[in-house]
Structure 1
Amino acid sequence: MSDRWLPLLPEHVTPGWLGEVLSEQVPGVVVEQLEVADILWGTGTKMMVTAVYNQAGRAAGLPERLCVKAGLAEHRELVKFCYQTEARFFAEVAPRLSIGLPRCLFAAANADQGMVVMEDLRPAGAQICTVQQPLTRDQAAAFLDDLAALHARWWNSPALDDDGELGWLMRHDPLPDEAWGDFGRGQLQPETWAHYMGLPRALGLPRVCRDRATMHDALQQLRRFAPDGPVCVIHGDAHLGNMYLTADGRPGFLDWQTARRGHWAQDVAYFYISALDPLDRRAWERGLIAGYLAALARHGAIGVPSEASAWEAIRAHVVYGLFYWMVNPVEWQAEANNAAVAPRFGWAAVDLGAPPAAAM
């Protein structure tokens, strides 16, 4: 965290401000012109801009098309910890990773804001993944290899202690007692739950997954699962909308607003269940998880779990993805996305005998 001033509104993102922050990497750069191509509103605001640089910027090869991401909407104060987390991830964590990430040109957080300036991936031919196009087996294996590299980097590291260098990362909790858990608890209220069970996403869900009391119990059971570890840095929201494939097929991860200290199975279960067609998931999951565990060891994790304990952890974590895709507001995800993904988790719970479809 710093005391640097950061824009709070889109109009604050000016050529002068952008040139000033980029000059920390490229001395002498001046942004001579800045054109806003689009503003994508969401939990975080993404300004897609085109910059015209002076000779210093052009000589340095700075990308002309950029994404400026921060909290620039009215709800900024409610979730500013998300923007701060993402900015600190790119500033403090990303430089120490070898996984696929967009090129970051500036990242900073202060008490009111978190901001990242990164390259727009699209001009180089990158494809942002979508839930309507599930991954192939090789693509899923490549993403799992990158997740293993992320998890292994700080596997049970003292850096993740509360007083460690990465202790500022929030601990993952599926239903936190603190204020940021109000959303999840609110979605479990009877009237709100009934509303979501009346939407198209619920039509493809197994009946056993639609019971509110059983869902609450399963989430509480997950909160009690393996509180002592293993602990690692996790992405926290590893679904296809937050991932991309480069022009040559290399995987990459976007949107690190929910980076956390947590259990590896949170990322793994959330990713592969949401990213695969259910029939492919049934056919491939044993091999994919075995490959992930081997990748953990290859990337340096000590004390890699056995396959038996790994599957126990995956079963426990299925409910997280199931619940949050069942109660996703349409303002956050289009109903077509919710209707595609929620049943993938529901049928995985049935297939794996996982809560809430079955007791652990």
Structure 2
Amino acid sequence: MAAEVGQRGGLPRSVFAKLTPTLRARLAYGSGAMVDESLFLNELRPQLGPAFEAPWGYFASYDLRTCRSIQMMEDLVATRDASFGTPETQISRAQAEEVITTLATLHGTFNRDPRLDTRYTTLRTVGQWYRSAEPFRLDKYHGLAMNKAAHVIPPHLHRRRAETWPAFMRSVARHAELPQTLLHSDVHLGNWYMTGDGHMGLGDWGCVMKGNWARDVAYALSGTLTVENRRAWERDLISLYIEAVRLAGGDDLSFDNAWLLYRQQLFQGLLMWTPTLCHSPLLPDMQPEHVALEMIKRTATAIDDLDALDAV
């Protein structure tokens, strides 16, 4: 949306508008997501400051009766010459480090923040977020997707595929036992953007929730990096996160505990993509099949590499 009116008053020349125009879009987005993304844009984004690489929100509202919503935010292509990631996007080591420090800033800023429970009461926990999706039978469609994607899943993990759903549910339950912060929670490559000068930023806050930091970090490293780069860099990147989140106000984590949590939360990334590949007819197609298969390959390979089934 572009407009000339108001330029002299400091209004942006263009904005990006996110809408829910169809029934399937409203079912997929849901009342919780529209409430929480509006909360992020209206109240939480400003607390992260101008140095945090994420879009500014201009207006966000919703109607709980109809589940219609609109979020008007910064047009990143116009303001930052941004381009968004695809499975073909190669993330450099420096960009991978920016992914980690961006998440550390987010998590450290809201680490153990009592307002997550007392003021921002609409924010769902990881467990509540998945319970809200129960009508869409994620368990059923996860199983179908594990079979459909067999050719990209390591054989050892595929033989144990019946264990992946229970392991995922245990990884969800861990969040109730762990320190809470604000999570982006959908940190796949398509939600990261590269600015014109090569920096990494985080867009699309439609799945924002509260939970433990390890969900975001596990999903980001297993999904944004190629298998080879993730294997080569992940230990160093976890060490970088430990230092960066401490400096941003987070807990002082030990490497061994952080590494265990990272392994346990790898199922969170996989379960964002198996119900994308195979999903309820109530939901729209959210990503091309080749994208879903690549993300399943990456997250499943990380689970297999790090023996995550036996860690949770």
TM-score (norm 2): 0.88
1:328 to 265, 270, 276: 276
Q: Does 1:351 align with 2:299?
A: no
Return the match for 1:118 from 73, 76, 81. 73
* Residue among 133, 138, 145 paired with 1:180: 133
1: distance between equivalents of 2:128 and 2:249? 28
> Structure 1 residues 113 and 85 mapped into 2: Cα distance closer, same or farther (>3 Å)?
farther
Structure 1 window deviating more from structure 2 (253-262 vs 70-79): it is 70-79
SS of 2:308's equivalent?
coil
What is the number of residues matched between the two proteins? 298
Extract unaligned runs of 5+ from structure 2.
279-284
2:270 aligned counterpart, secondary structure: helix
Whose Rg is larger?
Answer: 1
Answer yes or no: is the 8 Å Cα contact 2:183–2:213 preserved in 1: yes
Verify the 8 A CA contact 1:69 1:116 in the aligned structure 2.
Answer: yes
Partner residue of 1:4? none
Residue 195 (structure 1) shift: 4.0
Separation in 2 of the partners of 1:324 and 1:195? 14
> Secondary structure of the residue that 2:249 maps to in structure 1?
coil
- SS at 1:101 equivalent: coil
Partner amino acid for 2:22?
Answer: A
The match for 1:337 among 285, 291, 294 is 291
More helix by share: 2
Amino acid at match of 2:253: P
Which region of structure 1 is more displaced relative to structure 2, 69-78 or 346-355?
Answer: 69-78
The aligned runs of 1:98-109 (5 Å cut-off) are 98=49, 99-109=52-62
**Structure 1 residue matching 2:127: 3-state secondary structure:** coil
Question: Superposed, which structure 2 residues align to 1:280-291 within 5 Å?
Answer: 280-291=229-240
Alignment of 1:24-103 (within 5 A): 49=1, 51-54=2-5, 57-78=6-27, 79-98=30-49, 99-103=52-56
How far did 1:273 drift?
Answer: 0.9
**Which of 204, 214, 218 in structure 1 is aligned with 2:152?**
204
Name the CA distance, whole Å, in 1 between partners of 2:175 and 2:269: 18
Range with greater deviation from structure 2 (305-314 or 221-230): 221-230
Contact 1:233/1:260, CA 8 A, preserved across alignment: yes
Q: In 1, are the aligned partners of 2:112 and 2:179 still within 8 Å (CA)?
A: yes
2:269 partner letter: G
C-alpha separation in 2, matches of 1:63 and 1:238: 27
Residue identity over aligned pairs, in percent, reads 29
Kindly tell me: are residues 109 and 61 of structure 1, through their superposed partners in 2, closer, same or farther at Cα, counting changes over 3 Å?
A: same
SS at match of 1:314: helix
264-273 or 219-228: which moved more? 219-228
Out of 118, 123, 131, the position equivalent to 2:87 is 131
1:137-216 alignment, distance < 5 Å: 137-161=93-117, 164-173=118-127, 176=130, 178-183=131-136, 186-189=137-140, 192=141, 195-199=144-148, 201-210=149-158, 211-216=160-165
The one-letter amino acid paired with 2:232 is A
Query: In structure 2, what is the Cα distance between the partners aligned to 1:193 and 1:150?
Result: 30
After superposition, the CA RMSD in angstroms is: 2.1
Per-residue deviation, 1:313: 0.5
Distance in 2 between residues matched to 1:193 and 1:144, nearest whole Å: 28
Counterparts of 1:322 and 1:180, CA distance in 2: 16
Higher relative contact order (CA 8 A, sep 6+): 2
Residues 91 and 108 of structure 1 are in contact (CA less than 8 Å); yes or no, is this contact kept in structure 2? no
